Amino acid sequence: MEADNAGTAGASRTEIEPYSTYLAAHEVLVSLRAARSECEILETGQRALLTVRTSALLPSAVRQVAVRLVALLCAHPATDSVAMVTGLTLALTAAEPSVRCEVYQALGSLYEVKGILATVAIPDNAKSALDAAILSDLNHSQHHLRSAALALLPIVRPHGQSTGPNSVFNTICSYAADAHPKVRQAALCAILRQHMMGAALPVEMYDECVVATKDDFEQVRLVAIELVWAISSAYPEYPVVIEKYETIETIRLLDDAFVKLCDMVNDSSVIVRQRACAILGRYRDVKHTFLSQTFSKQVMSNLRRFAHRGPRGKSGRNRGHHSGPSKTSIPTPEGDADVESDEFRLLDSGAAGAFVHGLEDEYQEVRDAAIESITELSIGSTEFAAKAVDFLVDMFNDSSDRVRLCAIRALVAIGDRSLIHLTEEQLSIALSAMKDASHIVREGIYSFLAVSAVAQPEALTKLMAAMKSSLDKYPDDQMPIYRALMALGLSHSDVINTAFVRALLGISEHYLSREARIDDTVYAGNVILLMNTDLPTRRDLALVLPDYVFSHLPYLRDKYRGCFPQDLVRSVPFELEFVRQMLEQPRDDPTIAQLSLDDKRRQISSALANIRNVLGLVCDREELRGGDGVERSWQIETAALLARRIGEFEQDSTNTIAGTTVVQQADHAVVDYARAIELMLVVQSRAATMLRRQEHVDLASSIMLGLYKIEARSVGLDPSCRLALVYLRLFAHAAWLHAHSMACYDSRLAVRMYSEFALRAKRTEQVLRDRSVHPSELVDLVQRQSQQQAKSTNTQPANDQPKLSAESILAFIARFKPLLFSPVGHCQLVSANCSKTVIARRPVEFNHIFPLHLSLTASLTWVAHRSKIVVVVTLPTNEVITLHPPPSTLKPLSPMHWSLEWDEIPVSLPLSSGESTAVGLTIALQHTADMPWSDSFIVKSAMVPDTYKIESYYKAAGDIARRHICIPIAVANLSIGVNPVEFKPPPSSFTRI
């Protein structure tokens, strides 16, 4: 009775009391998500707000927890966030400093989450009270209160509302030199926030920010280097005067700030060093003298200036009475500053060789940031890029895979702009890196070699020998190696001569050569290298090459598409007319093979437009009555037409050049949605005869699983497309229920099934109503649901009767009309490329007594959360095991791109003996289901057992696997051969023979 009265406003004001103890408030804070009704939420919010406004009776710790509780409740839609924020601000005047600090932090978090004080305004009296409290607390003796007030001041008074000496910006700047580091950090962060909101930073702040970069507090230095970069970017040409020993030198502010940040690479903090290295890459138009100095630890001569030291300078320790050098002079040790030298430097000795220090740092995060900045600076300066190549190649020997990949990507970016000429030492390092255990690193090395060049034929011979070794050791690297050989052939036309060709192919000058095997991968790579040189070189090589090389060209060209030039026929001598005819008339369909890439794209676009037209016809059809024979005939014909259009699209998309991207992920999503619509039309045409038939259960399961695959494997879908998927999943749920005929099941199971569907229908109708979409079949279904629920409530308890009849579900299936699915923008495909390790390429022997450890290497693209990545193991007994890879096996390569290297996947096989078998491995994502309990049954495509224990549901509901659906994302699954062997213990010294 007391809980019921708490839901009304009048009762809540008279009966609700504040929290009296810390434990009571903290318990509610921890278990807030367990609240099941809006009345409990409102009561909790009123109690928390009343606790905050009760000043003299409660300890400050209780009120602090109450403030956190109010901030958490403001995010709930049932609460009035403006009224609760107003109550917090009005309670500031009588609150203790700790409570006021908690209120400021809560308001800051609400500004970030819900736009309070920005897009959502509060009353003027509350805003005035908040403004006065902040200005008063800026001079408080407690540093945490000053810090919280400084952080909130730019939010309460945005940029542009006040000017002059008493402006918000000047007020914040005055606290940048506060005695406490937390206050200095808050002041600098507020200045940076003001700059991001449009405030112009004065150039006079530059010296203060430079001083802050030497602060003892790490967080202050982090913000200071950001401000140094912001000011130097706003005033790049502002002159900075350097005066020392009566010598004046003027440099640009941009160059001076670059030098100051170079010195921060030697900071004692790892985070500061990483941030400094990362910010260096943002600079543009820095003078080449300062850029070159980052690769030399000794200050260059062009950054030194002569200074007259006066009479004292002439009597230094290194100067005698004679003009020549003194025999007793003591030289200055290398690396130490000579305080009596007649020169001064435009940068500190610590700033020299900034990138050398960054690349040699002991932490890989710093090395990664240094490489990324070198890449960015190399794009703007060719001379800097030439100096960076030697240092980046040395990073191939780094112990971290991530650092090696960063160095490879940097070199590939440099090589894309201008060809990299390798020295003998650099080539040796690159060839050693080709033996890396990670296939991702090896493919990166191949890409780097594709944009590189060597000067001597001997070096190219050494390179081809390494390529041959890689082909033999890593067969999966065949196509990346061939693509690298294509580029090498084009860039080494002046190096490849007749002597090189004879040595490469083993051609004798005096004897006939034995014809090479056409299926030899090494031989195919050699031919790809030679045939990708320029046309004059190929014509010269035709005098040396045997005839069998040219006779193999048609087969190799068709087998390795995209690895040979378009004018390949011009390389064949006129005497081999039959070969020229075969190259001019490809073996494949000439109407497809002779199409250019643009023609293929237009052909695929036409096929996709046909699919969209049929989808538009289905989604925009007139209102259906359901059960009509004409409608069933139309549904069958439309499903057949849609299947034919999908087949045409698949045929056109398969006839594409290897390595080219013709079909975007958004187009693939439309085609997959069309497949689901095709199955939907089949279900509608068979709606009257769907009861208790496995094929109809499979249709509903295929629709549901296909829709989840579209959503899970497409990154960047707009909300309207996701809504279309949610609505069609409601249809799949209805079809699955109708195919089962729930009347023959246990009453508790039937109630649960129908209740899940009714809840899904209600949620979907609410979401569609919010977007002004009102499908008549869904509105009618929800109305019938409400009538049935009211009827069951008046007659008997709801637990004894389903809330929705089978006739209503059948009517919904027959009248269902899907929403249009048309992605807007660019979508990305979530995928994974799996590759076997060296151990996994041969059958693995195992004994059932011991667990088997398999290994898997994969690269994942466009995966947002690594916690959703799972490895699915399929045992020989068709049992499926889902395993979460350890965090140490997943390494981020770039945002939403991961590398998986799991060497010990535990698998227990029950087979004790028998023939060799295989274990399947694949990568999947755990996608959150709309209705976890029902959808877990639907996607398995199995009939629900007639006997059902309600207790088993509650036990399974706590399992995390029930809340997710595993969506495979691997391009191809791996099959690892296993060979069961009998366990034989080794003989001991006590065993009788």
Out of 331-335, 444-448, 690-694, the most confident range is 444-448
Domain boundary among 545, 563, 587: 587
| Amino acid (one-letter) located at 265 | V
With beta carbons less than 8 A apart as the criterion, state whether 111 and 117 touch.
yes
Residues 733 and 845 placed together within one structural domain of the fold: no
Residues 351 and 481 placed together within one structural domain of the fold: no
Q: What is the dihedral of CA 968, 973, 979, 985, to 10 degrees?
A: -50
Confirm whether 429 is domain-assigned.
yes
Give the Cα separation of 268 and 668 in Å (integer): 51
With beta carbons less than 8 A apart as the criterion, state whether 262 and 294 touch.
yes
| Amino acid (one-letter) located at 621 | R
Mean pLDDT check: name the lowest of 32-36, 364-368, 574-578, 701-705: 32-36
Domain of 406, CATH number, reads 1.25.10.10
pLDDT above 80 for 14: no
- H runs (alpha helix) in 620-714: 629-654, 665-685, 694-713
Residues 602 and 682 placed together within one structural domain of the fold: yes
Number of domains forming the structure of the chain: 4
Element (H, E) at 846: strand 844-846
Please give the residue range of the domain that contains residue 246. Answer: 236-309+344-411
Residues 793 and 662 placed together within one structural domain of the fold: yes
Confirm whether 175 is domain-assigned.
no
Confirm whether 4 is domain-assigned.
no
Confirm whether 46 is domain-assigned.
no
Residues in the chain: 993
With beta carbons less than 8 A apart as the criterion, state whether 456 and 495 touch.
yes
Number of neighbouring beta carbons within 10 Å of residue 493: 16
Q: What is the pTM of this model?
A: 0.57
What is the per-residue pLDDT for 35? 46
> What is the CA 816 to chain-centroid distance, rounded?
37
Residues 675 and 730 placed together within one structural domain of the fold: yes
Residues 651 and 768 placed together within one structural domain of the fold: yes
With beta carbons less than 8 A apart as the criterion, state whether 29 and 62 touch.
no
pLDDT above 60 for 904: yes
Domain boundary among 534, 562, 587: 587
Confirm whether 160 is domain-assigned.
no
Mean pLDDT check: name the lowest of 266-280, 763-777, 917-931: 763-777
Strands 974-980 and 844-846, bridge-based pairing = parallel
Which residues are 906's β-sheet partners?
A: 853
Give the Cα separation of 674 and 940 in Å (integer): 22
Residue 674 CB contacts under 8 Å (≥ 6 apart), including other chains: 611, 614, 615, 642, 645, 646
What is the per-residue pLDDT for 950? 41
pLDDT above 80 for 629: no
pLDDT above 70 for 474: yes
Residue 707 — pLDDT band, cuts 50, 70, 90? Answer: very high
Residues 464 and 525 placed together within one structural domain of the fold: yes
> What does the pLDDT average to over 889-901?
83
Residues 431 and 386 placed together within one structural domain of the fold: no
> What does the pLDDT average to over 869-880?
85
Residues 783 and 635 placed together within one structural domain of the fold: yes
With beta carbons less than 8 A apart as the criterion, state whether 863 and 830 touch.
yes
Element (H, E) at 424: helix 424-433
pLDDT above 60 for 976: yes
Q: Look up residue 512 and give its two tokens.
A: 């006939």
Residue 952 — pLDDT band, cuts 50, 70, 90? Answer: very low
What is the per-residue pLDDT for 374? 93
> What does the pLDDT average to over 197-223?
87
Query: What digits encode the pLDDT tens for the residues 353-409?
Result: 889 999 999 998 999 999 999 999 998 888 899 999 999 999 999 988 889 989 999
Question: DSSP per residue over 117-136, as a string?
Answer: TTTB---HHHHHHHHHHHHH
Confirm whether 379 is domain-assigned.
yes
Residues 629 and 744 placed together within one structural domain of the fold: yes
Query: What digits encode the pLDDT tens for the residues 410-428?
Result: 999 999 888 999 999 999 9
SS3 content of the chain, % helix, strand, coil (to 5): 55, 10, 35
What is the per-residue pLDDT for 464? 93
What is the per-residue pLDDT for 898? 86
Residue 9 — pLDDT band, cuts 50, 70, 90? Answer: very low
Confirm whether 135 is domain-assigned.
no
Domain boundary among 815, 842, 873: 815
With beta carbons less than 8 A apart as the criterion, state whether 620 and 810 touch.
no
CA atoms within 13 A on the CB side of 428: 3
Give the Cα separation of 373 and 148 in Å (integer): 34
- Which is more confident, 44 or 152? 152
Q: What percent of the chain has pLDDT over 90?
A: 17
Largest CA distance in the chain: 120
What is the per-residue pLDDT for 18? 65
Q: Is 78 helix (H, G, I), strand (E, B) or coil?
A: coil
Question: DSSP per residue over 729-770, as a string?
Answer: HHHHHHHHHHHH-GGGS-HHHHHHHHHHHHHHHHHHHHHHHH
Residue 338 — pLDDT band, cuts 50, 70, 90? Answer: very low
Average pLDDT, the chain: 77
Query: What digits encode the pLDDT tens for the residues 534-566?
Result: 999 998 888 888 888 999 998 888 888 888 988
Residues 583 and 602 placed together within one structural domain of the fold: no
Q: With CA atoms as reference, report the closest residue to 778 among 707, 730, 721.
A: 730
Element (H, E) at 934: helix 932-938
Residues 808 and 838 placed together within one structural domain of the fold: no
Confirm whether 664 is domain-assigned.
yes
> What does the pLDDT average to over 40-52?
67
